[in-house]
Structure 1
Amino acid sequence: MRLGLQVSRFSWEGAPASTGATWRAVARDADQAGLASLWVMDHFFQMAMAGSPEDDMLEGYTTLAHAAAVTERIELGTLVTGATYRHPGILLKTVTTLDVLSGGRAWLGIGAGWYEEEHLGLGVPFPSTRERFEVLEDTLRLAHRMFADDDRPFEGRVVRAERPLNHPQPVRRPPIMVGGGGERKTLRLVAQYADACNLFDTGLGPEGIPRKLEVLRGHCEDVGRPYDEISKTCLARLTMDAGSPLPEGVHGHSVEEAVDRLGRLREAGIDHVIASMANTTDPAAHDLLAEVVRRVG
């Protein structure tokens, strides 16, 4: 079992003047705790379920590059990039740059995109669902080309690139994670193109996850892909009880509760849990995460 951390809120005390120092501390604490991965949302406005659009939100790849400079081992990715936010060729060049500067620690986390308000607010076209999935699949196909130093002309359904040159090449081909549990399209794309899926523990829980993974297994059989090649990840709310005050309604987990929760997710078929914590800036919470990592590793 691998354990990662997602940071989704940046409205920290003293922000924005303190934001850089706070983020560096979070990244270093996560790295030193032995966490496998560190993730940020790739949004430009905060989501309604986590706050309001006016809350602080950092651009994902700039934020990850900053973390890369102050960490040594932890892997870095977005959970997940909307395929419509950036031209696919530019996105893949950006992920490659992060991989090179981090010494081979970048992931490509990607999905079809859904947040219409931030698209329209910033002047980014928001195509239909069908078109967004076409962009996603074209981007996945192009990623396999660009990460393999294949600069032949590319023509997808909606994406064209005359010479998708990508130099330098990644230090390590960035693993591709496709986010979401859509059974007809999203999990099929995982089976065809991705190294990992990402499901949400909230709403599914350990009981609902196996059914999604059985759908993924079926898609793998359809395309001739070994199911075991794909890492099964999920995002789970897991806040360590470090003794400091927590937001109203948030349950603080003990190390034993966290280990039990991860064990149940492992039994459901998950091998990489990405924790969403309400107290990511508390160093004591990272100390507890380090003990969880030791216990489940």
Structure 2
Amino acid sequence: MDLRIFTEPQQGASYDTLLTVAKATEDLGFDAFFRSDHYLRMGASDGLPGPTDAWITLAGLARETRRIRLGTLMTAGTFRLPGVLAIQVAQVDQMSGGRVELGLGAGWYEEEHTAYGIPFPKEKFARLEEQLAIVTGLWSTPVGRTFSHSGTHYHLQDSPALPKPAQKKVPVLIGGHGAKRTPQLAARYADEFNIPFASVEDTERQFGRVRAAAEEHGRKGDDLVYSNALVVCVGKDDAEVARRAAAIGREPDELRANGLAGSPAEVVDKIGRYASVGSSRIYLQVLDLHDLDHLELIASEVQSQLS
């Protein structure tokens, strides 16, 4: 089971804070550092000092880390033109020596679009489908040839399809709870399917849909990596769990029900339940980015039991 650290910087984090967490992620032996792609806080957080851009952040981390994978859950399709996104991701992949992964979603948080003057189209899923076709098409076009796309939402004519990523194939992540269109999109474009904040039962059901869609598309169901994203709150005892839960404005019992919370033994047991339905990777949503002792505890008492 791969454990990856997943952050939500829109809730309040500077680049320096993210760099500290990313370096701890690397030093403690976690597989990857991922971040969300949002420009506006959610809930009661003050969001200070303000938002950081996902791909600018990852570009910086690409030069200041050496081993960990770097990526997004999920880049908002509404924020970037697909041709520009293909250039950005390819460049960061080169800067990292081939350690980047692209999670791409349709975008959903209308308030952040309003706050920063970003168009929020009604039909986002069809745009996402074209974006995936364009980004992957640009990367897979042989050097010396051109790429064109004529769709409903985007038109590219004779693009040189440059630059290329350092990796032969940048892993593409698609995720969500949708019962029909999401599995079909994953079957066509995804290297990994991620379901966020889902129960074991809902995870098993959605993984089954994606496997079936992949097979209908002529792929093997096991061609994809299957993963979860879950909030994490681990403590050596109940008092430490309660303290960490309070720091992120949550209740221990709620976190135990809906995330990975409790003692290391409790969390290892629940991870095993996700593994039993096909999950091989978990993105640990860490909400208190200043509590590095939390990461150390997870590494020493949880991750060590999963290898």
The answer to whether the superposition gives a TM-score over 0.5 is yes
- RMSD of equivalent CA atoms: 2.1
Q: State which of 256, 280, 286 in structure 1 corresponds to 2:289.
A: 280
Structure 2 SS opposite 1:125: coil
Aligned residues: 287
Q: Which residue of 2 aligns with 1:3?
A: 3
**C-alpha distance in 2 between matches for 1:22 and 1:89:** 30
- Cα distance in 2 between the residues matched to 1:133 and 1:55: 32
Match of 1:101 among 72, 95, 98: 95
Aligned to 1:289: 298
The match for 2:52 among 44, 51, 58 is 58
> Quick check: 1:84 aligned with 2:45?
no
Q: 1: distance between equivalents of 2:10 and 2:113? A: 20
Counterpart position of 1:118: 112
Between 1:2-11 and 1:86-95, the stretch displaced more is 2-11
SS at match of 2:84: helix
Residue in 1 that maps onto 2:62: 68
The 8 Å contact of residues 111 and 178 in structure 1, kept in 2 or not, is answered as yes
2:173 match: 177
1:250 positional shift: 4.5
Q: Determine which of 150, 155, 163 is the counterpart of 1:160.
A: 155
Structure-to-structure mapping, 1:1-297, within 5 angstroms:
1-9=1-9, 19-48=14-43, 51=45, 56-128=50-122, 131-150=123-142, 151-172=146-167, 173-201=169-197, 204-241=198-235, 243=240, 245-246=243-244, 247=247, 248-251=249-252, 253-291=262-300, 292-297=302-307
Residues of 2 paired with 1:79 and 1:55: CA distance? 21
1:89 alignment partner AA: G
After superposition, the C-alpha distances for 1:90-118 in whole angstroms (9 at most, x for unaligned) are 01111111111011111111111111111
Task: Name the stretch that deviates more: 188-197 or 241-250.
Answer: 241-250
Q: CA deviation at 1:264?
A: 1.1
- 1:240 & 1:70 partners in 2: Cα distance? 28
1:237 partner amino acid: V
Distance 2:157 2:31 in 1: 37
Indicate the SS of the match to 2:266.
helix
Decide whether aligned partners of structure 1 residues 125 and 278 sit closer, same or farther in structure 2, where only a CA change above 3 A counts: closer
Cα distance between partner residues in 1 of 2:113 and 2:306: 40
CA drift of 1:31 comes to 0.9
What whole-Å deviation, never above 9, does each CA across 1:178-212 have from its counterpart, x for those lacking one? Answer: 121211111110011111111023xx311211111
| C-alpha contact (below 8 Å) 1:239/1:276 kept by paired residues | no
CA deviations over 1:246-281 (Å, ceiling 9, x no partner):
224354533222211211110121111000123332
Q: Which amino acid aligns with 1:162?
A: Q
Unaligned runs of 5+ in 2: 253-260
Does structure 1 retain, via aligned residues, the 8 Å contact 2:77–2:131?
Answer: yes
Q: Quote the Cα distance in structure 1 between the aligned partners of 2:189 and 2:10.
A: 32
Mapped partners of 2:233, 2:138: distance in 1: 38
Give the distance between the partners of 1:207 and 1:42, measured in 2 at CA: 27
- Please identify, of 229-238 and 283-292, the stretch whose mean Cα deviation from structure 2 is larger: 283-292
**Counterpart-to-counterpart distance in 2, 1:11 and 1:118:** 13
Identity of aligned residues (%): 30
Contact 2:226 2:281 in 1 (8 A): yes
Partner of 2:256: none
Indicate how the Cα distance of structure 1 residues 27 and 142 shifts in structure 2: closer, same or farther if over 3 A, else same: same
Q: Residue type matched to 1:42 in 2?
A: D
CA distance in 1, matches of 2:226, 2:49: 31
> C-alpha distance in 2, partners of 1:98/1:158?
26
Length-normalised TM-score, structure 1 = 0.89
Q: Once the two structures are superposed, what CA deviation does each residue of 1:129-180 show, in whole Å capped at 9, x if it has no partner? A: xx31111111111122112234322223321111333433111121000121
CA distance in 1, matches of 2:95, 2:108: 30
Aligned AA for 1:174? V
* TM-score, structure 2 as length reference: 0.86
* Distance in 1 of aligned mates of 2:147 and 2:85: 18
